[in-house]
Amino acid sequence: MSAYTAFVRSGFLTSLAYRNEVWANIFGKLVQVFARVAIWLAVYAGVTAVDRISIGDMITYALLGGVVMGATRYDRIIRHVGTALKTGDVAVWLLKPVHYPLYLLSIEAGASAYTFLLAVVPTIVIVALVYGMHPPASLFHGVMFVAYCGLSFIIHFLCAAIFGVLAFWLMTIFSLEWLLQSLISLLSGLLIPFWFFPEPFGSIASHQPLAWLVYYPSAVWLGRLDIMQTLLYFGFGIAWAGLLTLTLTLLWRRAASRITVQGG
Partner 1 sequence: MRRTLGTLLLLVSMYIKSQMEYRGAFWLDRLAQIVSYGAVLLGMWILLQKFQLLGGWNWPELALLFSFQLLAYALGASVSFTQLRNLDDLVRLGTLDALLTKPINTWAYLIFSGLNIGYAGHIILAIPVLVWALLAAQVSWSIGTALFFVGSLLSAMSVTGAVITMIGATAMIWVRSNHLFAIFFGFWELTRYPLNIFPAGIQAVMLTIVPLAYISAVPVAVLLDKPVPLLGDFAWLAALLAGPLLTLIAIAHWRYAMSRYQGAGG
The contact pattern for partner 1, residues 157-176, with x = CB under 8 A and - = no contact, is -------------xxx-xxx
Least Å distance between CB 42 and partner 1? Answer: 4
Measured distance CA(152)–CA(241) in Å, rounded: 9
Least Å distance between CB 198 and partner 1? Answer: 6
Report H helices in 18-54: 19-44
Residue 48's SS3 state is coil
Find the binder of partner 1 among 13, 196, 207, 227 (CB under 8 A).
196
Q: CB under 8 Å to 27, separation ≥6 — which residues?
A: none
Measured distance CA(109)–CA(131) in Å, rounded: 30
Find the binder of partner 1 among 10, 41, 73, 75 (CB under 8 A).
41
54 forms beta bridges with: 49
Cis upstream peptide for 122 (omega within 30°): no
Residue 53's SS3 state is strand
Measured distance CA(167)–CA(212) in Å, rounded: 25
Find the binder of partner 1 among 28, 150, 235, 263 (CB under 8 A).
28
Q: Is 49 in the site for partner 1 (CB under 8 A)?
A: no
Least Å distance between CB 157 and partner 1? Answer: 20
As a whole number of Å, the CA-based R_g of the chain is 19
* Crossing angle (nearest 10°) for helices 74-87 and 139-165: 20
* Residue with smaller CB distance to partner 1, 61 or 100: 61
Q: Is 24 in the site for partner 1 (CB under 8 A)?
A: yes
* Residue with smaller CB distance to partner 1, 171 or 243: 171
DSSP 8-state class, residue 1: -
Find the binder of partner 1 among 116, 140, 197, 236 (CB under 8 A).
197
* Residue with smaller CB distance to partner 1, 1 or 17: 17
Cα–Cα distances in angstroms (integers) from residue 205 to residues 33, 193, 201, 233, 246, in the given order:
23, 10, 6, 14, 22
Find the binder of partner 1 among 3, 83, 132, 178 (CB under 8 A).
178
* Residue with smaller CB distance to partner 1, 48 or 182: 182
Q: Is 10 in the site for partner 1 (CB under 8 A)?
A: no
Find the binder of partner 1 among 10, 39, 88, 121 (CB under 8 A).
39
Kindly list the residues in this chain that would bind partner 1 in the complex (CB under 8 A). Answer: 18, 20-21, 23-25, 27-32, 34-35, 38-39, 41-45, 50, 170-172, 174-179, 181-183, 185-186, 191-192, 196-198
